[in-house]
Amino acid sequence: MEGYGSSRAAPLLRGHTRTVNAEETRQQLEQMLREIDSTAAIIEAEGAGESSELSHVDQHPGDTASELTDADQQNAILDNSAEHRIEIEAALARLEDGSYGTCVDCGKQIPAARLDVRPEAARCVEDQAKAEAAAG
């Protein structure tokens, strides 16, 4: 899902410190919410229908996905969307209370490069990996 490692090469570092632009970030997060909502609306409107307009939604072919029916896949997308939505809303709440940009687990600053890729990130890369490992 995430491009770990790709941030190693950072040729465009202009200054050593880069603070998060709260307003820009808020707009970005709100845009993400709108995209999730429109994706969900399309799925719900189509039901378990024919179209595969949603193939841009990242799915990993291979493992279990091939055994899922269209309806199952659409439900899975809706589930993911709902989870993603919660993450984004939590990020918006952190923007409000001023804790945005720090890891919710260890309290360290989340690198700006990571927030560029995942503005909703609640954890540093290490703690995110741990959280995902713990979740299975």
Interface residues with Zn ion (CB under 5 A)? 103, 105-106, 124, 127
CB of 107 to Zn ion, least distance (A): 7
Alpha carbon distance 89, 114 (integer Å): 18
Exposure string over 15-51, b if 16+ CB within 10 A, otherwise e: eeeeebeeeebbebbeebeeebeebbeebeeeeeeee
One-letter identity of residue 30: E
Q: Identify which of residues 84 and 130 has a Cβ nearer to Zn ion in the complex.
A: 130
Q: Identify which of residues 70 and 105 has a Cβ nearer to Zn ion in the complex.
A: 105
Q: Identify which of residues 2 and 70 has a Cβ nearer to Zn ion in the complex.
A: 2
Q: How many residues does the chain have?
A: 136
Could you tell me how far CA 79 lies from the centroid of its own chain? 13
CB of 84 to Zn ion, least distance (A): 20
Q: Identify which of residues 120 and 127 has a Cβ nearer to Zn ion in the complex.
A: 127
Helix or strand or coil: residue 116? helix
CB of 53 to Zn ion, least distance (A): 38
Helix or strand or coil: residue 21? coil
CB of 43 to Zn ion, least distance (A): 34
